[in-house]
Amino acid sequence: MTIDQAIYILKNTAWLGSNDKRDETERAVETVINELERRRWIPCSEGLPEEKKEVLISADGDLCIAEYETNHGRGYWSEVVEYRNVTDVDAWMPLPKQYGGEQE
């Protein structure tokens, strides 16, 4: 099962039980859906990240951290460690939150 399939099932499942348990279950499911959506690869054809926001990209079979920018109407990717332009980017995803000890 893909993440997209899991999200679809979770969003479209009718939750049963008492009102108290239903509310708690719905909040838990919403939390999981949000986290799954945040961790999925986003094809560039589906959308691009905010400008100058560091994201993980997949390009030519490699992974790296890069930023997307536009200049004079043209978009480009800049790898943030070596500051080189990256071409043929297939997909991107947000970086995870910084580790902070106990999970939220």
pLDDT over 90 at 56, yes or no: yes
The count of structural domains within the chain is: 2
Q: Are residues 59 and 31 in the same domain?
A: no
**Within a domain: 8:** yes
pLDDT digits (tens, 9 = 90+) for 2-38: 777 777 777 776 655 556 666 777 777 888 888 877 7
- What is the per-residue burial (b if ≥16 Cβ within 10 Å, else e) of 36-73? eeeeeeeebeeebbeeeeebebbbeeeebebbbeeeee
Please give the Cα distance from 51 to 103 (Å, whole number): 29
Shared domain check, 50 and 21: no
pTM value?
0.66
Question: Where does the pLDDT of residue 102 fall: very low under 50, low under 70, confident under 90, or very high at 90 and above?
Answer: low
Residues 26 and 56 in one domain: no
Which domain does 86 fall in, by range?
Answer: 46-94
- Answer yes or no: is 58 within a domain: yes
Please check whether residues 50 and 90 belong to one and the same domain.
Answer: yes
E-only strand ranges, 17-99: 42-43, 55-59, 62-71, 74-79, 85-86, 89-94
34/71 same-domain check: no
Question: Within 13 Å, how many C-alpha atoms sit on residue 53's CB side?
Answer: 10
Please give the C-alpha separations between residue 62 and each of 17, 56, 71, 87, in angstroms, as whole numbers: 46, 10, 25, 11
